[in-house]
Amino acid sequence: MKRQAFKMYLKPGFESEYEKRHNAIWPELRALLKETGVSDYSIFWDKETNVLFAYQIVDGGSSSQDLGDNPIVQKWWAYMADIMDTNEDNSPITIPLTEVFHMD
């Protein structure tokens, strides 16, 4: 298992909408993530910077950020594109973070 973290950018004024959409995450997206080995997935919001910090455990070769060719993920990206900073393909702009400390 591998721990991964990355950050994304939320557009100002969309904090409640972001949380609302994730609280109602589509069952097929949740199932896809679990099937590909993604677990313990959390996203935190820094209200001072509008940065979203994401953390997940990956058991396998694909993290949530490696599923962009899947139609379910593409549909989710399109659904979220109006409230996040995105690339041209609607994927969220993500910046991987390097782990510098971990304690069990």
Q: Which domains does the chain have, with CATH numbers?
A: 2-97 (3.30.70.100)
9 touches 93 (CB < 8 A): yes
pLDDT-based confidence at 61, cuts 50/70/90? confident
Q: Give CA–CA dist 85/27, Å, rounded.
A: 24
* Each residue's pLDDT tens digit, 62-72: 789 889 999 99
- Banded pLDDT at 45 (limits 50, 70, 90): very high
Q: What is the pLDDT of residues 7-39, one digit of tens each?
A: 999 999 999 999 999 999 999 999 999 999 999
What is the phi/psi pair of residue 51, to 5°? -90, 135
Q: Sign of the C-alpha dihedral, residues 78, 25, 39, 43? A: positive
The two structure tokens encoding residue 90: 């609607």
Task: Tell me which residues are annotated as active site.
Answer: 22
Pair type for strands 38-46 and 51-58: antiparallel
